[in-house]
Structure 1
Amino acid sequence: MGYKNKLLLFCLVTFCCLIFVSFNVANGDGIANGKIYTLELDRWKVSNKGNNALETTKGINQALQWAKEQGYTTFYVPAGIYLIDKESRINMVNDITFELDKEAILQKEANGKERYELLYIGPGTKNVTLKGGTYRGDKDVHDYFKKDSPYTSGTHEGGYGILANGAINLNIDDVKAENFTGDGLCIGASATMIDELYKGDFESGSIASNGALIPNNNKIRSKFSLEKMMTNEQSTFVIDHVQNLSSSEYDVFFYKKNGTFLSRLSAQKVTNSTITIPKEANYIYLVFDETTTDKLYIELWNKVITEKVTVKNSEFAFNRRQGITVGGAKDVLIINNIIHDTKGAAPQSGIDVEAGFFQNKDIVIKDNKFYNNAAYDVILFDGKDAIVEGNIMGSKGAIGLAISEPFTGALVKNNHFDRTRIMAYHDATFIGNKINDSLTYFTGPNIKIEDMVFTDALFSISSKDPFGVTASNITIQNNNKKKDSGLSIWGKPVHLKNITIIGQPAFRAISGGVEGGSIFENLKITGYNPETGLDLPRGTYNNCEFVAAKGGKDGPKINLAGKYEFNNCSFKNYAIGLHIGHKDAIVTIENSDFQVMGDAVGISAQAANKVEIVNNFITANGLTRKDIPLIKVNNYWQKERNYDVAEVLIKENTIISNLDEAIGISTIYSGINAPVSNGAKIPNNNGFKFPNNNG
């Protein structure tokens, strides 16, 4: 046989052997494609017809365990409906991708349970990917009248589609979780009480730095075993539910089983300190600065949170409580998902970051779309350090974002709040966001708002602490004359810079009863409603502009007691340029410009404690009547009453009118007993630009 023929025969034999080996693997040990295992329905007695829930659930779990043992890295579920037993769930294994065909549905069997899971990823389970398919709950056929026990709440809000409790490195991609009585996805934690320490578990004494027990009448110590600890990669403990302990800190000493001292941790906080346990440690001593153990009680818990989670390209819809709950997790990225139609059990939120007994940290919520959620789109209830970026919060009438008091360190960036509200308590930075047809509620402290655009929306601030809220580079566009929009400020003083308000709202473009001391820099209000004017909050106004829309009868007003300062400001109006109307107002107007466009007064002081009008430029080129003064103290109807403008200083102003006989300054109606020496001071250097000054 020639060389070429021998070579051809060798290739044919090799090819046939490969086919034979592949055939045997496929038929003997399952369908394998590299590291992919496709679920064999008959082999595991699994139904994809939506029946046989008990056998189907058992078969999937057995197949998962087998596939992992055989070294498969992907577990593929073909198209069909898989009914998951009401008494059970799918339990994930380590190091596997659980992939559903796009036409595959995992359906929870109808039940009356207050708590259930469809798929569970338990403590210490790691390197899991869930990909594709639909996870569907029994919401529409659930029995809400049954109870798991006489002591449960009966709310039936604990039905979870996917529940991760203490998992590590979890990826969820292109899945749909819908119609659950609770949450589509819960990224949570697990807790086990290690021990309870009572009075009798403590003894007097301390421990030296080398681990030796030593006497000390000012300290107490307690020993407990770690053998009750949950076996996982997160060997930690915390102290909780403390009673009758005055110490705020404690020391921890770690020992091997044979008594060898390992290490210690000093000055740990009694509350909120998570202690990492060395791998070799078998028992621990706690040492407290206490002299008595009377009625002392302490619990020690092993809390295992979920870490390193990505949820992307997925949909969470028609769930009763939440689309996604983050309830004890760290390093979570939720990106490019659609979350909608959450309704039925409080809080009814698209995403709720709320851990309670546990901790949330380093949460990123980015580029998601929310709509039709009944109460909230995103809640940051407790935890710290979150980024909320690039999302569309579109659940009309709901709260788009709520940042509660237990949460700190939120960065909220480049989101669109479409007809949804913002409620933020403290420790949050807002950059580059936009909101329309809604309102905000900021309380502080440590709230910072930058580069935000409001369209037909109310920018409302109620600062809890002085300057606890700051804002800069804000634009408020009022397009709808029937909508209450603009700027409203209450509470303690704030610092606002570069605020532009354009257009006519239904009422006033600015208002509020904020305490004195606020600072407004470069506030520009143009085209405001000339029928309602402006109700100016207390504070100092630097380089501000107030320009009314054409027509109307009202302008900026001072209706509150307290101190007002206007420096280098501009007033342009067809009605009164500035109205001062509270007997306890203290008003300084300096180096400012007034342009009166119609038959109106430039500055009218109807009531005040003190008014100073110094070095201003007042121009009235639209007067048709000679009896209208450009600066007026009180009015004709007050002349027979006791004065209510206590002190006035008017000097070094330039006043220009289109009428030669116009009145520059009028104090003749100041009221009965109006003081002269300490009252209306009108020096001769007011710089009138018309020949006849009647004042």
Structure 2
Amino acid sequence: MSSGSYLVELDRWNIKNNGSDAVNTSKGINSAIVWASQEGYSEVVLPDGTYLIDENNPVIPQSFMTFNLGGATLRIRDNSLPKYAIVLFHQKQQYSRITNGKIEGDRYTHTYTTGSTHEFGIGVELRNGVEYITIDNLEIFNTTGDAIIGITSFGGIGGGFPQLGGNFEAGGINTSNGSLTSDTNRIRSKIKIPMVPQITNLGRFGLYGDSYGGIGKEITTNTYDVVFYKSDDTFLASAKDLHFFDEVEVPTGASYAKVVLHQATVPSISGNTIVIRTPEFPKHVYIEKCNLHHCRRLGIAICGMKHCYVNGCEIHHISGTAPQGAIDIEDGYDLNQYIFIDGNNIYDNQSYNIIAVAGKHISITNNRIRSGIFTINSGVDKAIVENNYFHDCGPRLTGDTLFSNNHLYNCRLLLLGNGEAKINNSHFHNSPINFGKEKAYVAQIDNCKFLYDEDFYGASINPGAPLIFSTEPQSISDSIFEGSGKEAFTTVPVGAHDWILDNVSFINIKHKENRITPLPPGVYNGCKFINSGRLCDRSGEAFSKYEFNNCYFEWDSYTLFYMGPSQKVDFFKVSNCYFYNPVGYDSAFFLNGNWGNLYLKENTFYYPNGNRYFMIDIRNTTVADSVQIIGNTFIANHSMISVNADKSPNIPLIFKDNHLLKSQINLHDFHLLLNNLIDNELDPYYTRNTEPTSGFYRLGQQIKNSSPKPGSYIGWVNTSEGMVNNIPWKPNTAYKVNALVNANGKVYKAMEAGTSGATAPSHTTGSALDGSVRWEYVNTLAAFKPFGQISN
């Protein structure tokens, strides 16, 4: 059992602590460490000073021992090597620690003229299966490469070892007895995988990807079983539900194994790049309370490690050669597992702060991250990013990420690729968000606050739109967007479709120069738009639709929905919404352009000071398949028009079951009006004291008599659908432009002034010349009959 500390005797080991004699100093330190280990010491302590380390002979700590620098500095000798390590763990050390001092590279005095990138000068290097290594309370700086690197071996098996490519067949294997089974959802290896000495000596193997980490485009599962057999072909044991890049322990007595993949399709040779390997990599590595700075390449390079903890470190001013970042999780691919980065201060690195290129189960928590790019790439599965503070940086989420309880200031979050991204309980201060996902409904924003203040608007570099939607739909719920910037609040690409927004509030996002805010097609449930500025559609998909349900709108001094789509909006529905214009009379809807079905149902339009203009303004250039305005309440101060569409006779418009207070309608006779209560009077436009003398009426339409008396009638009913006209055509008569006449049961309009001829017009389409008058066919002639005579 190791115990006690040994203070290195410099003279005994021929060690210099004045920054000289690198060859003997390196040799002496290593000899002292080995001797102390053999003597049972648990700690080796260096006296204070500067120790010049031979670039060809790194310091090698031992197992079950602490190497305590005692405040001293290990400084590499100036050299021209493209690769060196000052401290090296490579002898399968276990339970080893280096602490309490400085490790300095030769960055500024290195000779770079010998070719290569010189990016692998390392402060502390870990490789070859070291375990339970602690690196703490160190300052590591000025290396030509990384402060710390942990790297895996490839672990390829030579000697004609069988390959899995081209060696799968349909069927499974019983994991209880090793017998072959017929299973349409499994494929199994046709070959025996021999337990060669390279495997048995290590005690494990695994199914890994090729040199780039890929397992093959035709491998659709991530799960497999391994069944072990004895040399007499009898069943020994099995391991179930394993994942690629896991370690498979070999039971004692195993002669060979077979593999079962949890998928139905047998891959081709080219579609399967699974490789059986025995990589050796660092595990259970603890990097704590270190100050890593001014290295050329990286602060920490995680290149094939499992269970790595980076806690309480300061990593900054990394620059010089790519990737120029604080922490890079990259080479080794999915071998990088269970990486925990917690409570660090990361800032002022040239390009990146944290780069996660590949790996799984990566946790990044409680860090302060300032400047540079933060990226979770597509090769990452199951990353957690929580309780971090991001300042002046650019987070990019491409891989599967849970992004929770973070605070961002002056950042722009990019959601890219196809990976799942769940963003919740986070605060975005002057930090826009870009949706760039290429797959539908993989990004979800929930319970987040987005705030944009005057600093955002006045930024010297234009930060762009606060909210950029993607073509592929995603979802936003229980979130607030407040404030505005130099650009319109949103950007919506043509072709966006089927977005889902639930309980999302847009507050004071109105642009200071009145730029319109486009909204993507989709469903908006329980959303609030308060001083949102002008809103518009963004259609262009083969079928685009909008639904607003139970939403609240409050605005003044501008038209709310200002829409005139050139591309058809196929379906636009607004139901159970509340429109409140507290001080003005600006329209809720200004409609132009090309529409399919437009449906407004059971909404409330409240204008407490509205006394003119229109709540809904449908322009004469509007084209629509149908417009239904049903069951709404329109309230104004005085004589405001609820719906204006009198110049749009060709739109099939239904105005039904609405309630109007101090508000009127301005519709065309061709539009259908039914059961509307206007200032507590039901359908007043269908009540008169005489038979109608103008207008269009449908067959069966009834007009009530407003002055019924004994002997008169209850009203009049239309027996011939068409236009009412009481001016019969006359021959040899002068007519003005737009004059209306009836002849032969039809109604005509003079297209130009002139004098009629001798024969009345009778055409039913287009126009025809009569004398010098050209008559345009308008409609059939309506006919009314009285009904319901009142007895005396």
Q: TM-score, normalised to structure 2's length?
A: 0.72
Alpha-carbon separation, structure 2, partners of 1:692 and 1:241: 74
Match of 1:381 in 2: 357
Displacement of 1:559 = 3.1
Alpha-carbon separation, structure 1, partners of 2:193 and 2:643: 84
Amino acid at match of 1:584: K
Matched, 1:668 2:649: no
Alpha-carbon separation, structure 2, partners of 1:518 and 1:650: 24
Structure 2 residues without counterparts, runs of 5 or longer: 180-188, 668-792
Displacement of 1:254 = 6.7
Alignment of 1:322-337 (within 5 A): 322-337=298-313
Structure 1 residues without counterparts, runs of 5 or longer: 1-32, 148-153, 213-217
Match of 2:520 in 1: 537
Alpha-carbon separation, structure 1, partners of 2:217 and 2:162: 11
Give CA deviations for 1:531-579 in whole Å, capped at 9, x if unaligned. 2242112111111111117xxxx41222324111111111111211222
Relative contact order higher in (CA < 8 Å, ≥ 6 apart): 1
Amino acid at match of 1:686: N
Match of 2:444 in 1: 470
Matched, 1:169 2:145: no
Displacement of 1:379 = 1.7
Alpha-carbon separation, structure 1, partners of 2:588 and 2:217: 68
Alpha-carbon separation, structure 1, partners of 2:498 and 2:380: 28
Match of 1:556 in 2: 535
Contact 1:192 / 1:230 at 8 angstroms: preserved in 2?
no
Matched, 1:620 2:620: no
Amino acid at match of 1:437: N
Match of 2:289 in 1: 313
Which shows bigger deviation, 47-56 or 107-116?
107-116
Give CA deviations for 1:96-138 in whole Å, capped at 9, x if unaligned. 1011122x11111122222211111115210011111111111
Cα distance change on mapping 1:463 and 1:139 into 2, 3 Å: same
Which shows bigger deviation, 109-118 or 528-537?
528-537
Match of 2:705 in 1: none
Match of 2:391 in 1: 418
Cα distance change on mapping 1:93 and 1:262 into 2, 3 Å: farther
Match of 2:47 in 1: 78
Displacement of 1:411 = 1.3
Displacement of 1:275 = 3.1
Match of 1:29 in 2: none
Alpha-carbon separation, structure 1, partners of 2:616 and 2:124: 71
Contact 1:556 / 1:578 at 8 angstroms: preserved in 2?
yes
Matched, 1:584 2:547: no
Alpha-carbon separation, structure 2, partners of 1:406 and 1:245: 14
Alpha-carbon separation, structure 1, partners of 2:629 and 2:537: 18
Match of 2:57 in 1: 88
2:487 alignment partner, SS class: coil
Alignment of 1:101-180 (within 5 A): 101-102=70-71, 104-147=72-115, 154-165=116-127, 166-180=129-143
Q: TM-score, normalised to structure 1's length?
A: 0.81
Amino acid at match of 2:158: D
Cα distance change on mapping 1:569 and 1:229 into 2, 3 Å: closer
Residue of structure 2 aligned with 1:188, choices 151, 168, 176: 151
Match of 2:633 in 1: 654
Contact 2:576 / 2:603 at 8 angstroms: preserved in 1?
yes
Amino acid at match of 2:650: P
Amino acid at match of 1:137: G
Cα distance change on mapping 1:333 and 1:568 into 2, 3 Å: same
Match of 2:471 in 1: 491
Displacement of 1:488 = 2.1
1:61 alignment partner, SS class: helix
Alpha-carbon separation, structure 2, partners of 1:598 and 1:675: 31
2:638 alignment partner, SS class: coil
Cα distance change on mapping 1:50 and 1:304 into 2, 3 Å: same
Contact 1:322 / 1:342 at 8 angstroms: preserved in 2?
yes
Task: Give the alignment's Cα RMSD to 1 decimal.
Answer: 3.7
Which shows bigger deviation, 192-201 or 170-179?
192-201
Matched, 1:688 2:669: no
Displacement of 1:475 = 0.4
Contact 1:462 / 1:490 at 8 angstroms: preserved in 2?
yes
Match of 1:569 in 2: 551
Alpha-carbon separation, structure 2, partners of 1:210 and 1:97: 48
From the CA coordinates, give the structure whose radius of gyration is larger. Answer: 2
Cα distance change on mapping 1:42 and 1:280 into 2, 3 Å: farther
Contact 1:633 / 1:645 at 8 angstroms: preserved in 2?
no
Alpha-carbon separation, structure 1, partners of 2:602 and 2:163: 80
Amino acid at match of 1:432: N
Alpha-carbon separation, structure 2, partners of 1:466 and 1:490: 10
Alignment of 1:374-453 (within 5 A): 374-395=350-371, 398-399=372-373, 401-443=374-416, 444-453=418-427
Cα distance change on mapping 1:476 and 1:237 into 2, 3 Å: closer
Amino acid at match of 2:97: T
Cα distance change on mapping 1:38 and 1:631 into 2, 3 Å: same
Displacement of 1:459 = 1.9
Amino acid at match of 2:472: K
Cα distance change on mapping 1:224 and 1:196 into 2, 3 Å: farther
Identity of aligned residues (%): 23
1:466 alignment partner, SS class: coil
Give CA deviations for 1:339-378 in whole Å, capped at 9, x if unaligned. 1111122222211112336601111111111101122111
Contact 1:448 / 1:469 at 8 angstroms: preserved in 2?
yes
Contact 1:478 / 1:485 at 8 angstroms: preserved in 2?
no
Alpha-carbon separation, structure 1, partners of 2:335 and 2:31: 34
1:138 alignment partner, SS class: coil
Cα distance change on mapping 1:669 and 1:323 into 2, 3 Å: farther
Give CA deviations for 1:263-298 in whole Å, capped at 9, x if unaligned. 4557898964643234677x65778999x999x999
Cα distance change on mapping 1:631 and 1:112 into 2, 3 Å: same
Cα distance change on mapping 1:358 and 1:86 into 2, 3 Å: farther
Contact 2:26 / 2:58 at 8 angstroms: preserved in 1?
yes
Match of 1:517 in 2: 498
Amino acid at match of 2:492: G
Alpha-carbon separation, structure 1, partners of 2:552 and 2:229: 71
Residue of structure 1 aligned with 2:584, choices 594, 598, 617: 598
2:478 alignment partner, SS class: strand
Amino acid at match of 1:570: Y
Cα distance change on mapping 1:426 and 1:254 into 2, 3 Å: same
Cα distance change on mapping 1:235 and 1:59 into 2, 3 Å: farther
Alpha-carbon separation, structure 2, partners of 1:63 and 1:78: 13
Contact 1:416 / 1:434 at 8 angstroms: preserved in 2?
yes
Contact 1:194 / 1:301 at 8 angstroms: preserved in 2?
yes
